[in-house]
Structures are given as C-alpha cells and as structure tokens.
Structure 1
Amino acid sequence: MPNRNTTLASRLREVLLDGHWIANTNYKEQLQSINWKQAIQKVDNLNTIAALTFHINYYMEGLLNVFNGGKLEISDKYSFDLPEIKTEQDWNHLVSTFLRNAETFASKVAQMEDAIFDQPFVDEKYGSYLRNIEGVIEHSYYHLGQVSIIRKMITQHQL
C-alpha cells in the first residue's frame, strides 16, 4: 500500500500536470492549449482562465512558502489580484510559473514524512497538513471544470 505522501503527490500531479483519470484533462493540458487572448477573454460574468490560473497558483505559492519554512501570508481577498496580461509573454510567464509551482508542490508533498499530515497546518484553526493538501486538490478540480468549460466556450464558439 502506498504511503500518503506518494498518493497525495500523485493526485496533485493528476489534476495539475498529467492526469486524465478524474476529469479527462488537467491544468497543463488546458492552459497550454490556448493563447493569451483566449486566456483573458471574458465570458459573461465568469472569471477568465487567466484569473482562475492565478487564483490556484496563489494558493499553491502560499502553501509552498509554509512548506519551505516560511509563514502563511496569503489572504482570500488577494487571490484574484491577477496582474494585467497584455502579451503572449505575460501569459506564458503565468503558465510556466503555475506549472513550476505545481511540480514543486507535488514534489514537496512526495518528500513529506507521514507524521506531518496529521499535524496542524500553521495553526489549528487551519486544520491539518492533510486537510490543506486535499483542499488544494479539491479546489483545483473545482476550478479545472470551470477552465475546461470556458476554454470550450471560447474555442468552439470564438467568443
């Protein structure tokens, strides 16, 4: 039976980098299949793909900071504060940062000792390490569905 660290790391890679089992897609596949104009294309009152990418990356970076011995310095109110995307280079930078953080996040989880998963994450009010890591997985799937649908709306109907 695999350890929790390898199971969680596999689940993270599944949704973020290379999986197809749950959603038949992943962030890497979705993000690399569009250009910057599509990434910032507004569909009704939905978030843009760029905003959703920034949002998930924001939380990964915040937790990575803790994994690396830093403080928890993120706040929900800033989680959609995407810098303006004006060029393909801006979009590619966001995507590459997201993918690098996704791989780093999964690798850090894979290296964790089993006992840490049951320990409080920074403060007991934030739950355990396990709850936060599973939260990243669940939150990522939630927004991956949105990214996938918005991408289809944009690319199939050229909104």
Structure 2
Amino acid sequence: MSTPSQLAKRFREVVLDGKWIANTNFKDQLSDVTWKQATTKIDSLNTIAMLTFHIDYYIAGLVDVFEGGDLKIKDQFSFDLPLIESQQQWEELLNKLWNDSGKFATLLEQMSDSKLREVFVDEKYDTYLRNIDGMIEHCYYHLGQITLIKKLILFKH
C-alpha cells in the first residue's frame, strides 16, 4: 500500500469509520448527539459543535489546497461557528464534515509519494506529509475532547 493510501486509511479511521487507535471515531461519537447537546456549554470548554466546526474548518482548508487552490484558512477564524438553532443546522454541519472528510481522503489517496515530500504552500508550513500527519493528530486530539465533553453532558443530564 502506498504512503498516501496508508495516510488516507488513518484519516478515515479517526473521522469516518475506524476503531483501531481510540476504539471510536468522529462519526461514531457524533451520530447520536442532538443539536442541543452539541451546543451545550460545560464550564470553559468548547462545545461539541464548536469542535466539530473547528476540525471541519481545517479539513476543508486543506481540501482547497489539495484541489489546487490557495490556503485561505486562518487560525483566528477556526472557531467562528455560525449559531446552531435546530437539529437540521447541526445535521448540515455534520454532513459537511463527512463530505469534506471523504473528499480529503480521496484526494490524499490520489497523491503521489513524491507530492508528500513537496513544500505545502510555503516553506514555513513544511511539507504535505507534515500537514497531513498534523491533521490526523489534530483530529485525534479533538476526538478525545468531544468524547469527554459528551460524557460530561450525559452525566449532568
């Protein structure tokens, strides 16, 4: 299996369908979360909806670059979640995450090994490989947060 295919598999595992590292994934954790739970604030923690938006923001930003576009994402906007006031809006956010994640994995699978060693947009961002590995690690980090916040919400209610 090529390196891009292995990375795509790891990415799918954390977001869409795996259980190997954390025994869960984003889709598994978020499938039964209601919009009210997703927007419930626990102390100073981010909400599940904010973390979902945040992770999709970065995935979508990398997809743009993978498709030949510019890197438009900025850290300062990565938590600018539009207000969610219904189950439909929550489900739209989830569907965006699933669609962007599927696109990310598919585009990654189509990359060559040599592309992974290329500079990602600008030398200050290092290589494609470093950014893809970083995305996978970023996803696991926030998956852990979502899992714990979900438990806190269910415990309090």
Q: TM over 0.5, yes or no? A: yes
TM-score normalized by the length of structure 2: 0.98
Whole-angstrom distance in 1 between the partners of 2:60 and 2:113: 22
**Kindly, what percent of the aligned residue pairs are identical?**
53
Tell me which residue corresponds to 1:9: 8
Q: Which runs of 5+ in 1 are unaligned?
A: none
> How does 1:46-125 map onto structure 2 within 5 Å?
46-125=45-124
Equivalent pairs, count? 157
Q: Could you give the per-residue CA deviations for residues 63-119 of structure 1, whole angstroms, max 9, x where no partner exists?
A: 110111110011000000000000000000000000111111011101111110000
Whole-angstrom distance in 2 between the partners of 1:156 and 1:46: 16
* 1:151 maps onto 2:155 in alignment: no
How far 1:31 moved relative to its partner? Answer: 1.2
Instruction: Report runs of 4+ in structure 1 exceeding 2 Å deviation.
Output: none
Whole-angstrom distance in 2 between the partners of 1:34 and 1:62: 25
Q: Once superposed, what is the RMSD of the aligned Cα atoms? A: 0.6
Whole-angstrom distance in 1 between the partners of 2:80 and 2:142: 16
Q: Could you give the per-residue CA deviations for residues 33-83 of structure 1, whole angstroms, max 9, x where no partner exists?
A: 210000000011000000000000000111110111110011000000000
Whole-angstrom distance in 1 between the partners of 2:103 and 2:63: 8
Whole-angstrom distance in 2 between the partners of 1:92 and 1:120: 35
Give the secondary structure class of the aligned counterpart of 1:85. Answer: coil
Amino acid at match of 1:55: H
Q: Which runs of 5+ in 2 are unaligned?
A: none
